Homo-oligomer: A and B are copies of this chain.
Amino acid sequence: METIKVAIVGATGATGSSIVNGLLASDSVRYEITALIRPASMQKPAVAELAKRGVKVVSAELTAPQEELVNLLTGIDVVISAIYIAELKSEMLLADAAKAAGVKRFVPCFFATVIPPKGVTALRDMKEDVLNHIKKMHLGYTVIDVGWWYQLSIPRLPSGRIDYALTMTNSPIAGEGKVPSGLTDLRDVGKFVAKIIADPRTLNRMVFAYTKLWTQTEVRDLMDRLSGEKCTREYMSPKEIQDAIAECLTDPSKYIAVATLQYLNSWGVRGDNTPEIAKYLGYLLASELYPELASQLRSLDEYFQEVLDGKGVPPYGKRLG
């Protein structure tokens, strides 16, 4: 079996954990994983857990002198960044070191919905800056976007019985809720990644890896059917979304609200998060590259049933309900 050496930043985060699970479970490629962990986090239980599972854990600060990072990355085939959003700027330092170390493929932290490169969401704008930096260096790369998570798509039920699984206030319905958007179970992200990073066809390309298209109305209808309740339906017109973004932008502390609303505008109003727009923007589709994966991906029905059964695990490890 082929062996690929992977270094990952953010291995204990929501996306990073899914990726580590996916790589360790791979049956077509053997992944040797090195997790770059910040010195301050080395003692965390999640890090000890990684080591127990065969992940090599090394202490690394992205802002350290470049030669330290280059030493750590020498001999590594693929570097994956599942970095915390606020650290996106240090990702460029990681890319610089990867280039200097001769890394063959750099996977920058995208792992979100399909969005045009500039001018739609501030977050994508920043990610695009990193990608442009990578392209300037002629560094091999693969961008992976995974759509919107099931875990962020749970509507609220009047009984409150699934509030435990809500991570952020659920998005209101944009417009009439008829815009399709690609959804994926967070836990399946790693399955896609394990395929994509071993595939020569995806080198220097963007890949859109999602499970199924859903409109916000369909998502609510599904929850109604499975729960026997009628879930909350709050509507927000495109104009109201725009106005709310403009208002939140005046207050720097509201950056999470801005990000959430800009995402909603992109996938819920503009309809960016679809295979058609992905192809227009130059993405390959994981569904076309790996049709054999389809049977291994969790359906939204399965996930909602888990949540209703009290077994839904909210991402970020936080329970807001």
Interface segment, A31-39, A56-64, A100-108, A117-125? Answer: A117-125
Closest B residue to A271 by beta carbon equals B138
User: Is B282's CB under 8 angstroms from A204's CB?
Assistant: yes
Chain B residues, CB < 8 A from A132: 116-119
Q: Chain A: how many interface residues by the 8 Å CB criterion?
A: 18
State which of B116, B135, B136, B205 has its C-beta within 8 Å of the C-beta of A136: B116
A107-160 contacts to B, CB under 8 A, are 116-120, 129, 132-133, 135-136, 138
Q: Report how far A277 CA is from B119 CA in the complex, Å.
A: 26
0/1 interface trace, chain A 64-98, chain B, CB 8 Å (1 if under): 00000000000000000000000000000000000
Chain B residues, CB < 8 A from A204: 279-282
Q: Report how far A120 CA is from B205 CA in the complex, Å.
A: 21
Q: Report how far A136 CA is from B279 CA in the complex, Å.
A: 14
Closest B residue to A137 by beta carbon equals B116
User: Is B282's CB under 8 angstroms from A282's CB?
Assistant: yes
State which of B135, B205, B281 has its C-beta within 8 Å of the C-beta of A116: B135
Chain B residues, CB < 8 A from A118: 129, 132-133, 135-136
Distance between A37 CB and nearest chain B CB, rounded to angstroms: 30
Q: Report how far A277 CA is from B135 CA in the complex, Å.
A: 9
Chain B residues, CB < 8 A from A277: 138
Closest B residue to A131 by beta carbon equals B117
Q: Report how far A211 CA is from B281 CA in the complex, Å.
A: 28
Chain B residues, CB < 8 A from A129: 118
- Among A116, A117, A135: residue with most chain B CB under 10 A: A135
Q: Report how far A204 CA is from B276 CA in the complex, Å.
A: 12
0/1 interface trace, chain A 30-62, chain B, CB 8 Å (1 if under): 000000000000000000000000000000000
Chain B residues, CB < 8 A from A135: 116-118, 280-281
A120-B136 contact in complex given A204-B280, A204-B282, C-beta closer than 8 Å: yes
Q: Report how far A129 CA is from B282 CA in the complex, Å.
A: 17
Distance between A139 CB and nearest chain B CB, rounded to angstroms: 9
A228-257 contacts to B, CB under 8 A, are none
Q: Report how far A97 CA is from B204 CA in the complex, Å.
A: 33
Closest B residue to A270 by beta carbon equals B138
Chain B residues, CB < 8 A from A282: 204-205, 282
Q: Report how far A142 CA is from B277 CA in the complex, Å.
A: 16
Q: Report how far A133 CA is from B116 CA in the complex, Å.
A: 9
Chain B residues, CB < 8 A from A119: 132-133, 136
Q: Report how far A204 CA is from B116 CA in the complex, Å.
A: 13
- 7 A-B pairs with least C-beta separation: A118-B132, A116-B135, A116-B136, A119-B136, A117-B132, A204-B280, A117-B135
Q: What are 15 A-B pairs at a CB distance below 8 A?
A: A116-B132, A116-B136, A117-B132, A117-B135, A118-B133, A118-B135, A119-B133, A119-B136, A135-B280, A135-B281, A204-B279, A204-B280, A204-B282, A205-B282, A282-B282
Given A116-B138, A117-B135, A204-B281: 8 more A-B contacts, CB < 8 Å: A116-B135, A116-B136, A118-B135, A118-B136, A119-B133, A120-B136, A135-B281, A282-B282
